[in-house]
Each structure stands twice: as C-alpha cells, then as structure tokens.
C-alpha cells in the first residue's frame, strides 16, 4: 500500500515536471537544478554565475529553502528576478512548486533559469522539476565518501562541481578519492573543481553553462 502511494506521488510529479519542461522548451530557456548538502556553496555559485553571465544572458533564479528569504535577498542585490519558495516542512522542491513560482518571473524574456534546491543529499534527486540538467555541488570538507553514500544525487546529475578547493591545504580531503567515487557511481559525470572564494576554476563552470544555454536558446531563434 505504502509503496503504491509513493509511486503515485512520483508519477504525479513527473507529469507536472514534463509540463514545465515543455513550457521551458517553448520559451527556449535552459534550466539547471542545483543540488547539494546545506552550505556546500549553491548560493555562492549562483552569485558568481549571475555576475559573470548577466550581461550576456537574461537570468532568473528560483530559491528553495525550508524557511526564510535569506538566499533570495542575496540574489536580489544582483538586480535580477528571483523568487523564494519556502517549503515549510518539505525537504526538496517539486514540479508543482516550480510551476507556482513561474508566475512571478518574466519567463518569456529569460535564457537561463537556475533553481537552487533545498540543501539535502537525498530526495531532491528523486523529484524532477522540468530542468534540462541537474548539477551537484559537493564541497571538499564534506568528505570523499559522499558519492558512494548518496549515489542517486550523483547518478542523476550531469555535472559535479567540487567547491571549496581553497580549503584543501587545511582539511583531510582526498580529492582524487572523491572524484573516483563519483565516477564509480556515474562514469559519465563531468567533474569541475572550483573555489567560489578564490574564483579558481569558475571559468570552466561558466564555459559548461554557456554551451548548454547556447544549445537551448538556439532552438528558439
């Protein structure tokens, strides 16, 4: 019985996610769903991305948090449209929440929509929201074993961004083991090493994103 309830929930979400996806395709918007544990650097990476790409692309942000508008306020200072979703008790975003938030964003003018999911290494990976790609951020202090302990997140993602490489001299993180573990659960995973603090490696993330946006928006024009 319980298994069936869970399956119905996921199927209902999948339908709404598919509708969102069709809307994004019609508008030619590239959508990335950013996932990580709390504090890995999702908002920091969004802020760097907005500053680097906002002159080239029209960007919108959807922020997901259990409570507060702290992240949306951080983004708002960069002068681009942002919507905060407060999930209350829910530990992930789903297709319905994204659909509701879309009314608050000038959708037809956008090229890039970044969704910051709730900080959580488990269920965000189970709920599609209509995105083109899921991107995972893992920060060096979290430990090299996380990809094998939480494999679904890494399996569902197209790219893994390893953040906080500036901390490597001070912590016990075997970054090669981290990358090997990620490749073990998803051999196709692209891996980028960055620091939002020193900005090392960010150019590779921007290049990855630019290519994705170019491909998606080309279908519109």
Question: At closest approach, how far in Å is the CB of 119 from Mg ion?
Answer: 7
Interacting residues toward ligand GDP by CB under 6 A: 36, 38-44, 119, 163-164, 166-167, 195-197
The pattern of x and - marking residues 161 through 190 that bind Mg ion according to CB under 5 A reads ------------------------------
Size of residue set near Mg ion by CB under 5 A: 3
Evaluate the CA torsion angle 213, 214, 216, 218 in order and state its sign. Answer: positive
| Closer of 28 and 39 to ligand GDP (Cβ) | 39
Of residues 67-106, those binding Zn ion (CB under 5 A): 91-92
For residue 55, how many other CB atoms are within 10 A of its CB?
Answer: 6
Question: 116, 63 in Cβ contact below 8 A?
Answer: yes
| Closer of 16 and 93 to Mg ion (Cβ) | 93
141: DSSP letter: G
160: DSSP letter: E
| Closer of 139 and 217 to ligand GDP (Cβ) | 139
Question: 111, 49 in Cβ contact below 8 A?
Answer: no
31: DSSP letter: E
Question: At closest approach, how far in Å is the CB of 43 from ligand GDP?
Answer: 4
The pattern of x and - marking residues 42 through 81 that bind Mg ion according to CB under 5 A reads xx---------------------------x----------
202-208 long-range contacts (CB < 8 A, ≥24 apart) are 202/48, 202/52, 205/45, 205/49, 205/161, 206/49, 206/52, 206/53, 208/159
Chain residues binding Zn ion by CB under 5 A are: 91-92, 123
């Amino acid at each position: 019985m319980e298994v069936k309830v869970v399956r119905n929930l996921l199927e209902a979400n999948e339908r709404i996610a598919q509708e969102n996806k069709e809307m994004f395709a019609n508008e030619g918007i590239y959508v990335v769903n950013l996932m990580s544990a709390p504090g890995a650097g999702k908002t920091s990476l969004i802020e760097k991305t907005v500053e680097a790409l906002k002159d080239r692309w029209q960007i919108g942000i959807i922020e997901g948090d259990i409570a507060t508008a702290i992240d949306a306020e951080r983004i708002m200072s960069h002068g681009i449209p942002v919507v905060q979703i407060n999930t209350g008790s829910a530990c992930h975003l789903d297709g319905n929440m994204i659909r509701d938030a879309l009314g608050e964003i000038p959708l037809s003018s956008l090229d890039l929509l970044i969704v910051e999911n709730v900080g959580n290494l488990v269920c965000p990976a189970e709920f599609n929201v209509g995105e083109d790609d899921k991107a995972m951020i893992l920060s060096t202090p979290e430990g090299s074993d996380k990809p094998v302990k939480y494999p679904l997140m890494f399996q569902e993602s197209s790219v893994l961004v390893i953040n906080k490489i500036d901390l490597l001299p001070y912590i016990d993180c075997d970054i090669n083991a981290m990358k090997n573990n990620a490749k073990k659960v998803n051999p196709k995973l692209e891996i980028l090493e960055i620091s939002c603090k020193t900005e090392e490696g960010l150019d590779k993330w921007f290049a990855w994103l630019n290519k994705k946006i170019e491909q998606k928006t080309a279908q519109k024009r």
